[in-house]
Structure 1
Amino acid sequence: MADQHDTIRGTATGTAPVPLSVLDLATVGSGLTANGALRTSVELARSAERLGFHRFWVAEHHSMPGVASSSPAVILAHLAAHTDRIRLGSGGVMLPNHAPLVIAEQFGTLEAMAPGRIDLGLGRAPGTDGATAAALRRSDRLNEGADEFPQQLAELTHFLDDDFPDGHPYRRIHAVPGPIQATVPGGVQSPSRPPIWLLGSSGFSARLAGMLGLPFAFAHHFSAANTVPALDLYRESFRPSAVLDEPYALIGVSALATEDEKEARRQVLTGALSMVRLRTGRPGLIPSPEEAEAYEFSALEREFVDSWLTNVVHGTADAVRDGLDGLVKRTGADELMITATAHGREARLRSYELIAEAYGLPGTTG
């Protein structure tokens, strides 16, 4: 059985054990602006393409001042206009926040803009707090969206494939652009649509992705304790499909490389402080290294920071490469998607350059 989407499976290059990709949150540092964060996202995507990373995904978050990626489809359209080859996608769009037809239209449009380069990663969490989720969904029945995720996913898939069965109330509704647009004078082109990925940080999406034979992306960067159990469940549940013959698991990992180990610790502490504030109901801009160093952590906060940083791969390029290689061995992941949380653009850009150089990615060799 051949893969429906040849580009789901990445190809490792250089000395990397698996393909390497990038997850960007368009983070906004203190003293900086959303405009600058989105400009940096373009710069990062262009750099990732040049260096030889496989994918560049953006994530949906809401009501978080330090994260400017509330509208993945809009950002992806902008990135598509500034890149040529790298795969672009959502990591992910939170399906319960949107009508399936709207997502099908948005990503059908992206596919028409950048044929063969778009991934549609879907999550079932709101990507925000409960009050904001209620505002997004115009309902306070927050569990309803998550509980109905399989039904919503099936509906979205039918819209993308334009194949609702006869008698279905949506049979005569078409997501445009979509496969219906593939007919051209003199023949019919092969229908093209973005491959669907399921995202998760627990077992629900892992099992569902396996049962449907879809690629699975796990959020190791904020749910590390669940990574191996979720991937095991995905592989145990996997059934071959028209999409994949075998399981394909990607994991998101937080990693930051610098020339100096102490500087790496200084930089990643900003992300840790940002998470402390988020987890205690005080979301804000990403603090500067100076702010993070001056902050007086309580004993409980310090315990959280130490635990959090255990799962952030950081240090020199060689140390980060060793950490990422070890993660692949422990999890059996088929692809790593690296996210670098730091205050400013320079540290993030340099980190991806150093990691690419450590692995000898194509854009770093003569």
Structure 2
Amino acid sequence: MYPAPKFGSAPFALNAHTGGSVGVGRTAQEGFSSLIKLARRADELGYHRFWMSEHHAMPGLAVSSPPLVLSRLTAETERIRLGAGGVMLPNHAPLVIAEQFGTLDALAPGRIDLGLGRAPGTDHATAAALRRGEGANDNFAQQVAELMGFMNDDFPEGHHYSTVHAVPGPWQAKENRVQHPQLAPELWMLGSSPYSAQLAARLGRPYAFALQFGDADIDTAMRIYRDNFEPSEVLDAPYSMVSVTAVADEDPNEAKRQASSMAMAMLRMFKRESFTLLSPEEVAAFDGTLNERSIIEMYTERAFTGTAATVAGRLERLQEQTGVDEIMLVIGAYSAEAEINTLELLAKHYGA
């Protein structure tokens, strides 16, 4: 169900991820236009997946509803897999997500991924407005089980949702006496903690680890996932991915300069300020404290930046360290041109 396609000469499948960047001075319309162009180019260059995340109340990012944007991308691309990386399930009713992704699968059969996370994708106040109550994360495993029940239409007889059916989906196909493609969309568990690794293992689902956020212990998470993995109807053995921020450029200094915008956004988030994407020039001119400058430098250095060869070398070392099957590039540049350039340079490096 989850083969590991190679990307040219790369030892892993290479994917692209975006939040739909909307930097200072750019409109949401411009951000979406850039996102669509990025998806088209990733498709043309042979990247395997194109994902986006659910974010709320963040002026530097445009995507608050991945399913809405994905519906547009199904008509803008031809072969690349499209997905949410991810949908923050506690923000939604599982039935609604099953219906939305069933719709996407009908629009682009065999090309849809659904990555699930339990973080709110925003600040505490906005999370409260979305979730309308405390402890939303506490029932995450149950929410995932309900979602799978709706997607597969396989609640046991007597279950209180056994007569509730997601449409489009298997039930509709059965009622209309037509064949329904099974086990689609692909369901991924996302996270950066032992909890998500344990749940992915118990469900027998692929696991994607978000390394772009900090110093999370990926080695422990991957060990937990692999040691506890239980084969399922869709996956016989563990299958994993890691996501990292990456910016490539012929000039390594320019790559690092572009990455500084996202680093600055992280600092602003830590300070409970607006997650605004400032230009590299504004970041360079920022008159911060020594501690603030060190945080910006830390996140800039944490991104995989440099020439295509340099970035590829770091990706390959990460793959050797973690043993993952796929790597997701979180395109962390300020300008739309730099994002496209990153995809093109890495594709060229790997002969794709």
> Do these two structures clear the TM 0.5 threshold for a shared fold by scoring above it?
yes
Question: Quick check: 1:81 aligned with 2:78?
Answer: no
| Partner Cα separation in structure 1 for residue 204 and residue 295 of structure 2 | 36
Q: Which amino acid aligns with 1:349?
A: I
Amino acid across the alignment from 1:251: V
- 1:74 deviation in Å? 0.2
Q: Does 1:254 align with 2:245?
A: yes
Tell whether the 8 Å contact from 2:249 to 2:341 is kept in structure 1 after alignment: yes
Pick from 217, 220, 228 the counterpart of residue 229 of structure 1: 220
The alignment's C-alpha RMSD in Å is 1.4
Paired residue type of 2:291: L
Bigger shift: 298-307 or 251-260? Answer: 298-307
Of 317, 322, 330, 1:339 maps to 330
Instruction: Report matched runs for 1:218-297 at 5 Å.
Output: 218-297=209-288
Tell me whether 1:93 sits opposite 2:84 in the alignment.
no
1:113-132 matched pairs, under 5 angstroms:
113-132=107-126
CA distance in 1, matches of 2:208, 2:71: 22
Report the Cα offset of residue 310 of structure 1: 3.1
- TM-score normalised by structure 1 residue count: 0.93
What are the ranges of 5 or more consecutive residues in structure 2 without an aligned counterpart? none
Please give the residue correspondences for 1:209-220 in structure 2 after superposition, counting only pairs within 5 Å: 209-220=200-211
Answering whether residue 97 of structure 2 is matched by residue 106 of structure 1, we say no
Runs of 4+ in 1 over 3 A off after TM superposition: 183-192
Deviations 1:138-179 (Å, cap 9, x if unpaired)?
Answer: 22x1xx221111111111100001111111111111100001
Structure 1 position 257, deviation (Å): 0.3
User: Does the aligned pair in 2 maintain the 1:116–1:192 contact within 8 Å?
Assistant: no
Cα distance change on mapping 1:101 and 1:15 into 2, 3 Å: same
1:57 aligns with 2:51: yes
SS at match of 2:216: helix
Does the 8 Å CA contact 1:94/1:127 hold for their aligned counterparts?
yes
**What is the Cα deviation at residue 45 of structure 1?**
0.5
Unaligned segments of structure 1, at least 5 residues: 1-5, 362-366
Opposite residue 301 of structure 1, the aligned amino acid is E
Aligned to 1:195: 186
Give the superposition deviation at 1:189: 4.2
- Displacement of 1:313: 0.6
Q: Which residue of 2 aligns with 1:38?
A: 32
Question: 1: CA distance between counterparts of 2:289 and 2:14?
Answer: 36
Percent identical across equivalent pairs?
49
Separation in structure 2 between the aligned mates of residue 345 and residue 318 of structure 1, nearest angstrom: 21
- Whole-angstrom CA distance in 2 between matches of 1:298 and 1:213: 47
* Residues 192-201 or 248-257, more deviating: 192-201
Distance 1:187 1:111, change over 3 A: closer
Mapped contact 1:178–1:192 kept (Cα < 8 A): no
Query: What is the DSSP-based 3-state SS (H/G/I as helix, E as strand, rest coil) of the residue aligned with 1:286?
Result: coil
**Higher mean C-alpha displacement, 279-288 vs 77-86:** 279-288
The alignment covers a number of residue pairs equal to 352
1:184 deviates by: 8.1
**Using a 3 Å threshold, how does the CA distance of structure 1 residues 344 and 187 change in structure 2: closer, same or farther?**
closer
